[in-house]
């Protein structure tokens, strides 16, 4: 039986160009990539060794923060700052960014505000380089970009305007049950942008028309996941409470493995050393 050992990272994903094809997933352990789609329907075990290494500096840590960082990195890195969760609070323009060079590369670039259908319609933001990865990580079955903006902060401000009319969070339990009704994303985009039009116009006055652009010609994307059976009841596994997780792999969606014994969010355990046995 194939056995793999290493420190967990976020699963690698790829959306095939063929219509109706499922997302291709690979388990990321250190520098090794293990294809997962072919393991569907097979027994799989994941054993946590008890060791955690920071995904940034690699130092050993007893507890991880913000999906894999040690406490010192969590405190000093801009990617762990509050503005990552609340982008409208980005303070790069105030000269107080924890890592100005990192902020210049990751925050002061084009971002997209989008609508996605994961557990229902929601709004979100992402860098252009993370389309469609961001949508897949959230378990969206449909998505469409609706604005292109010049900075992360501007994306957060547009998102705030839209949050008054649509959710900005995914209900992960609903998403994993798989009973998500498809909607007309083009119609939803027109409706939501109409509701936020006045707020967006004020932002364009402040930042310039070219800074915040409506993507009226954008096409929606449909995403299929490799799932044989969705769980009727959501039972969540946690390496901190049960170091050995076993079961038959029924599917993969978002960053979750769907086992017949329960589900596990692998992204939550970045830096955890595990041994994986398939078959």
pLDDT given for residue 141 in this prediction: 98
Instruction: Work out whether the CA dihedral 156, 157, 160, 162 comes out positive or negative.
Output: negative
Q: Indicate the pLDDT class of residue 104, thresholds 50, 70 and 90.
A: very high
Q: Indicate the pLDDT class of residue 179, thresholds 50, 70 and 90.
A: confident
Average pLDDT of the chain to the nearest whole number: 96
How many residues are present in the chain? Answer: 279
pLDDT given for residue 19 in this prediction: 86
Q: Indicate the pLDDT class of residue 111, thresholds 50, 70 and 90.
A: very high
Collapsed DSSP state (helix, strand, coil) of residue 132 = coil
- Cα distances (angstroms) measured from residue 5 to each of 29, 84, 259, 270: 7, 31, 20, 14
pLDDT at 149 over 70: yes
Instruction: Name the percent of the chain lying above pLDDT 90.
Output: 96
Q: Indicate the pLDDT class of residue 31, thresholds 50, 70 and 90.
A: confident
pLDDT given for residue 2 in this prediction: 82
Q: Indicate the pLDDT class of residue 259, thresholds 50, 70 and 90.
A: very high
pLDDT at 1 over 70: no
User: For 237-268, b where at least 16 C-beta lie within 10 A, e where not — what string?
Assistant: bebeeeeebebbbbbbbbbbbbbeebbbbbbb
């Amino acid at each position: 039986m194939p056995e793999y050992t290493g420190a967990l990272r976020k699963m690698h994903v790829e959306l095939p160009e063929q219509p109706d094809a499922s997302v291709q997933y690979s388990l990321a352990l250190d520098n090794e990539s293990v294809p997962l789609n072919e393991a569907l329907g097979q027994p799989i075990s994941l054993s946590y060794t008890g060791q955690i290494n920071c995904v940034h500096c690699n130092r050993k840590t007893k507890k991880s923060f913000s999906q894999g960082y040690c406490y010192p990195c969590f405190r000093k890195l801009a990617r762990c700052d509050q503005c990552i969760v609340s982008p409208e609070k980005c303070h790069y323009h105030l000269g107080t960014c924890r890592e100005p060079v990192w902020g210049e590369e990751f925050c002061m670039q084009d971002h997209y505000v989008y609508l996605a259908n994961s557990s229902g319609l929601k709004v979100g933001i992402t860098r252009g380089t993370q389309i469609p990865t961001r949508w897949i990580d959230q378990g969206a079955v449909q998505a469409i970009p609706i604005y292109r903006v010049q900075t992360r902060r501007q994306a957060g401000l547009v998102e705030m305007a839209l949050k008054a009319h649509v959710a900005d969070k995914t209900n992960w339990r609903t998403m994993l049950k798989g009973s998500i009704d498809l909607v007309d994303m083009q119609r939803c985009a027109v409706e939501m942008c109409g509701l936020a039009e006045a707020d967006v116009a004020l932002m364009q006055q402040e930042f310039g028309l070219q800074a915040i652009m409506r993507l009226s010609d954008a096409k929606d994307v449909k995403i299929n996941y490799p799932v044989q059976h969705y769980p009727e009841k959501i039972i969540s596994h946690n390496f901190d409470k049960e170091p050995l997780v076993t079961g038959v792999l029924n599917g993969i969606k978002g960053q979750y493995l769907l086992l017949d014994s329960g589900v596990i969010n692998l992204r939550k355990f970045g830096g955890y050393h595990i041994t994986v046995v398939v078959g």
